[in-house]
Amino acid sequence: MRINRLDLHRYGKFTDCSLTLPAAPCDFHMLVGANEAGKSTIRAAILDLLFGIEARSTYDFLHPRSELRLAGSITHAADSLDFQRLRKSSKSLLDAAGQPLGDDALLPFLGNSERSFFDQMFALDHLRLIRGGNEILNASNDIGRILFQSAAGIGSLGAVRDQLEAEADKLWARRHARDRAYYAAKDELAVAEAELKRATMRTRDWLDASGKVQALQDRMAGLQDQVRALETERAALERVRRVAPSVRAHQGSQQELAALGEVIQLPADAGASLAAAEREMASATTRQKLLVERAGQLQALLATIVLDDAVLACAADITALAERRQQTRFHTRDIDKRQQEVKVHWQDIEACVRQLGWPAGDEDHLASRLPPAPVRSSLAALARRHATLELALAAATDAAHQKAREVEAIEADLAALPTLVISPSLRAALETALRLGDFRAAQQREEGRVAKAERELHQAESRLGAWKTDLSPPGQLALPAAAQAERLLRRATENEAAQTALRQRALEVAAEIESLELATTQFRRAHDPVTSGQVADARHVRDAVWTAIRSGGAALTDSAAIYEEHVETADRLADQRHAKAHEAAELQAKLDDAERRHRQAEQIAERLRALADEAATIDGEWAAQAAALGVPTLPLAAFEGWQEARAATLRAADAALQARAEQQQTADAVARAQAALRAAIADVGVALPSDLEALILAARHLVDEAAATATRRAELTRQLAAAKSASADLARRRDAADAALADWQERWQQGLRSAGLAGDTDVGTLEGTLKLFDDIDDKRQAIRELRQARIAAMQKDLDDFRSECRRLADLLAPAMVGESPDETARRLNARLLQARDDAREAARLTGEIARAGEQIAEVAGAIDTARAAVDPLLRLARATSHADLHAAVTRSDTARALSLSAAAARRAAEEAGDGLPLAALAAAVDATDMTQVTVRLAEIARQLASERELQVTLAAELATAGTSLARIAGQDDAARAEAARQQALASMADAAERFIQVHTAGRLLRWAIDRYRETRQGPMLARAGEIFCRLTLGSFAKLTVDFEARPPLLEGLRADGRTVGIGGMSEGTRDQLYLALRLAALEMHISQACALPFIADDLFINYDDVRARAGIEAIADLSKTTQVIFLSHHPHLVPAVREVFGDAANVVMLGG
């Protein structure tokens, strides 16, 4: 058996918590959580889920004990069960739907396992592990005890066995001893028997005492007859008093019904419906009044708002002014910064002037000294051109020589070209063939299109299904009108929907009938009325007790209380018969409700039959149309799809015909092109290929070769003419380059003179001087840009801002004209914001007023609806006003209540009347003076009390006389002696019985230990040795038994052959030995019995990581045969678990 899911709905600290434990080849599940995370609670929950929540459970600190609830899903072989467990002494198992399960529902899953066995065998925690290791040490000289208590999880078996043997010795042994219980009781028996022999009896005293006892018994019998007569009279009066209220109530109800006269019967809920409608009208009227008041308030608020239209009209200007205010607020500071930049640029200009060797001066003086820009540009151009002119002269000379050699080579190539002529017919045939393009691919495409069209035609025909017709054009097949088919389909769909809804309603009504019948049955069981037979039986028991007392068969002192209890029981049952009248009326109401549901079910069945007839009519109409189409079996629901499929089939047939035609056209064009090319190529005198592709390649080769030759000839001719022309040009360019260099020298000297520079200034010096001229110009330009583009622009922005402020102030607030522009802009922006807020508020109030109007209309509709609900009652009651209707409802309810009251009173009277009919009871009530009933009953009670006091007195005298007679018969000494004798015999029997139990238990425990050692020692020690070797990381190779010792001893065998006894092992090693024995025993048990989940709780607290991994590997072997739930508060073990079980290991992290 395994647990698939554990649900802690209300248990311990958990509320609606679910743990999923999925199955896997290694059925291992690790639950990790810190202290107080709930691990111990989960362990206890597993026990309580499988074996029941204990009556004194300690896990009720959050949820009340009566509300503790667990649930889970378990499987065993092919069986599975989802169930819930409640904290109840019985019937605590429920299925997943909440229905009770038998208390033995888990037996197929748990086998014969009980709670204590499961806890000992399949649960192991750290404390038990330590305790088990210590018990192994204490039993080190008894290998059988070690194996047995390790396998069963039970410690201290030696102490238990010693206690049993010690207790047996104190009870009995072969040697007589006073301290043994059996022999002490035997001595007491001899003393009691000797004392009994000394008791004697006197005859005359016995006769006197016996005669006195008989006289008292006769007096007691006469007194009992008098009491019975009084009891009979009291019972009759009690019956009259008991049924009188019911009889009077019945008579009164009948009289009141007669006094009411004719009453219009209104529905039972007429009063409630009328009250609800009146409440709705009153509520709606009040709400209507509140809404009207609210609308008026909103109108008043709207009237108080005055919109600043002038400011709103200038909103864009004011917003722009506010933005400009933000833009210009740092302009004054920036103007000062730009002035400083101008000063820095001028200092740079002065440094350049000093490098030129010019005297210092102002800007105008500097401007007069600087060469004009054209002069500087001319000199710069001449400097740049100098190297170019020298290079151009050298290049022109080299180019002229090369061009002459090129003319000679071109003339040689022209002389070597061949001559080839292509006819116009060949060119035309090739052009025609090339226009066909990739005709092979085209033919394949055409074949593919034909195949695709035929496949689509086949698929379209297959979509027609069994309803295929000829593929005549749509006009030649008379199809029903779409509207007609749609109407039939809509009728069929609506019919099917109506039938579905009615069937659903039929199911609901059937469920309601079943529920009502169940409720009626449960109501009968819960409120079973008391029958007259039950009352008669109780009274018979009461009378029997009284008869026994009166006849002397029972002592009055002993039976008086019993008799009074039976009297009270009989009276209570009679009263309960009267009290069940209301339950009977409620039961009748349930029966009436069930009858109404049965009538509804019959109506639904009738409607379903009518719908079925209508569906048959629709099917007949469609069958006639389908037969006219040639598809008589076509369903109406499939007509629309069939019509679309037929149209698709026609389209597919047209497409297939078109594809085949195009395929033939392509084939004809290829044949014509092939014939034309063959004829044209034959004229040239070249060998003819076989297919069109080779013909095209041959023709294209001829044409390309002829074209290439002509092109090459033309190109060489052109190149020759160009080379000769270029050669002449190059000669002229060489002469021009020589003249240009001379012209440059002349212009260079003129430029130096114009710039005021020395005539021997070379190109390099001039470049440095021009650089200083350019730096001075750049700085002067930067100064001009700062003054014009930056400083002047910012000053203009400031002037424009002040101007706009003055304009808006004059327009909107003349009082602001004298203020600063910044303050004016700020105040205008604030005024604009307020105006916008007022506009938004006005719009909101307008919307609220409109919504209030809509709500007023809705309330008026609700009032009309409530009035419409009352109108049917007014008509039924034939009333003209609500007051008349209230009176009619009251009369109807009164008549209904009186009828129910009369029926209940009749039933109550008959149930309390001891089986007498109502007429007889009414006659008895009428014949009895009810005012005297209480008096007579009190008198009878007094008489009975007097008689009973006398009975008590006589009973006391009778008891005294009986005691005297008994004393004379044997005296008190004889009675005590007999009592001592019986006590001694009982003590001897108890000692003997306890000795047999204890002695047998000790012998059985010793036999079980020896038997387990004999049968399990070999396999269990072998398997435990393997696990022990793994747990100790090979420190011990296996476990052995020293049979030479007496008794044999269990030892651990080291890898080097040395043995270590249990006493020589460390505490941790003993814990590992106990764990190995437990796991081995558990594996052997599982192989022979039902496998249950193994719960391991923090077993490896004192283990390092390596030994913890070894322990996890040992448990992994166990998880292959049964489910293992491993609880731990050490998250560092998770990586080890992942390594052993893989990433698929189920690790659940519990919250704090």
8 Å CB contact between 899 and 240: no
Strand order across the 123-125 sheet: 123-125, 1094-1097, 1124-1128, 28-32, 1146-1149
Enumerate the domain spans of the chain: 373-416+691-739+750-754, 425-469+640-684, 482-633
Q: Per-residue pLDDT averaged across 607-613, rounded?
A: 86
Q: Which residue has the tokens 């594996």?
A: 1083
Secondary structure string (H, E, C) spanning 831-866: HHHHHHHHHHHHHHHHHHHHHHHHHHHHHHHHHHHH
780's tokens: 């002067």
Residue 516 identity: L
8 Å CB contact between 227 and 915: no
Strands (E), 971-1043: 1036-1042
Report the range of poorest mean pLDDT among 442-446, 460-464, 799-803: 460-464
Q: pTM higher than 0.85 for the full model?
A: no
Which of 1114, 1102, 1121 lies closest to 1140, judged by CA?
A: 1114
Report the range of poorest mean pLDDT among 89-98, 400-409, 472-481, 817-826: 472-481
pLDDT tops 90 at residue 495: no
Burial letters 527-545, b for 16+ CB under 10 A, else e: eebbebebbeebbeebbeb
Cα–Cα distance for residue pair 416/409, rounded to 1 Å: 11
pLDDT tops 70 at residue 1005: no
Which DSSP state fits 100?
Answer: B
Helix (H) or strand (E) holding 1030: helix 930-1031
Dihedral sign for Cα atoms in the order 303, 308, 313, 316: negative
Predicted confidence at residue 441, as pLDDT, reads: 77
1030 alpha carbon, distance to own chain's centre: 44
**What is the per-residue pLDDT across 1031-1072, written as a single tens digit (0 to 9) for each?**
888 888 888 877 666 666 778 888 788 888 888 888 888 888
8 Å CB contact between 1115 and 1134: no
Predicted confidence at residue 156, as pLDDT, reads: 46
Contact residues for 1053 (Cβ-Cβ < 8 A; gap 6+): 1025, 1036, 1037, 1038, 1039, 1040, 1059
| Confidence grade of residue 153 (pLDDT, cut at 50, 70, 90) | very low
Cα–Cα distance for residue pair 839/873, rounded to 1 Å: 53
Cα–Cα distance for residue pair 425/677, rounded to 1 Å: 9
By percentage, how much of the chain surpasses pLDDT 90?
6
By percentage, how much of the chain surpasses pLDDT 70?
87
pLDDT tops 80 at residue 848: yes
**What is the per-residue pLDDT across 704-750, written as a single tens digit (0 to 9) for each?**
777 777 787 788 888 888 888 888 888 888 888 888 878 887 887 78
pLDDT tops 50 at residue 201: no
Cα–Cα distance for residue pair 882/329, rounded to 1 Å: 79
Which of 1070, 919, 890 lies closest to 146, judged by CA?
A: 1070
483's tokens: 């509207």
Predicted confidence at residue 221, as pLDDT, reads: 83
**What is the per-residue pLDDT across 762-773, written as a single tens digit (0 to 9) for each?**
777 777 877 877
In 372-475, alpha helices (H): 373-416, 424-435, 439-463
pLDDT tops 70 at residue 228: yes
Q: Per-residue pLDDT averaged across 783-802, rounded?
A: 81
pLDDT tops 70 at residue 914: yes
| Confidence grade of residue 48 (pLDDT, cut at 50, 70, 90) | very high
Instruction: Calculate helix-pair angle for 203-260, 532-551, nearest 10 degrees.
Output: 160
Predicted confidence at residue 200, as pLDDT, reads: 41
Cα–Cα distance for residue pair 83/97, rounded to 1 Å: 8
**Strand 1146-1149 with 28-32, pairing:** parallel
**What is the per-residue pLDDT across 278-322, written as a single tens digit (0 to 9) for each?**
788 888 888 888 888 888 888 888 888 887 788 888 888 888 878
Q: Which residue has the tokens 């992290």?
A: 1149
Which of 777, 771, 754 lies closest to 380, judged by CA?
A: 771
Predicted confidence at residue 154, as pLDDT, reads: 45
CA atoms within 13 A on the CB side of 406: 18
Contact residues for 819 (Cβ-Cβ < 8 A; gap 6+): 809, 827
Three-state SS at 287: helix
Contacts for 483-489 with beta carbons within 8 Å, 24 or more apart?
484/625, 485/625, 485/636, 485/639, 485/640, 488/618, 488/621, 488/622, 488/636, 489/636, 489/637, 489/639, 489/640
Cα–Cα distance for residue pair 224/231, rounded to 1 Å: 10
> Environment class of residue 1079 by beta-carbon count within 10 Å: exposed (0-12), middle (13-18) or buried (19+)?
buried
Q: Per-residue pLDDT averaged across 883-909, rounded?
A: 82
Q: Per-residue pLDDT averaged across 252-257, rounded?
A: 80
Phi, psi of 1017 (to 5 degrees): -60, -45
| Confidence grade of residue 71 (pLDDT, cut at 50, 70, 90) | very high
Predicted confidence at residue 505, as pLDDT, reads: 83
Answer with the residue of higher pLDDT: 44 or 1104: 44
Which of 466, 481, 582 lies closest to 523, judged by CA?
A: 582
Mean pLDDT over each residue of the chain, to the nearest integer:
79
Which range has highest mean pLDDT (74-88, 142-156, 169-183, 832-846)? Answer: 74-88
CB atoms within 10 A of CB 831: 17
Secondary structure string (H, E, C) spanning 904-940: HHHHHHHHHCCCCCHHHHHHHHHHCCHHHHHHHHHHH
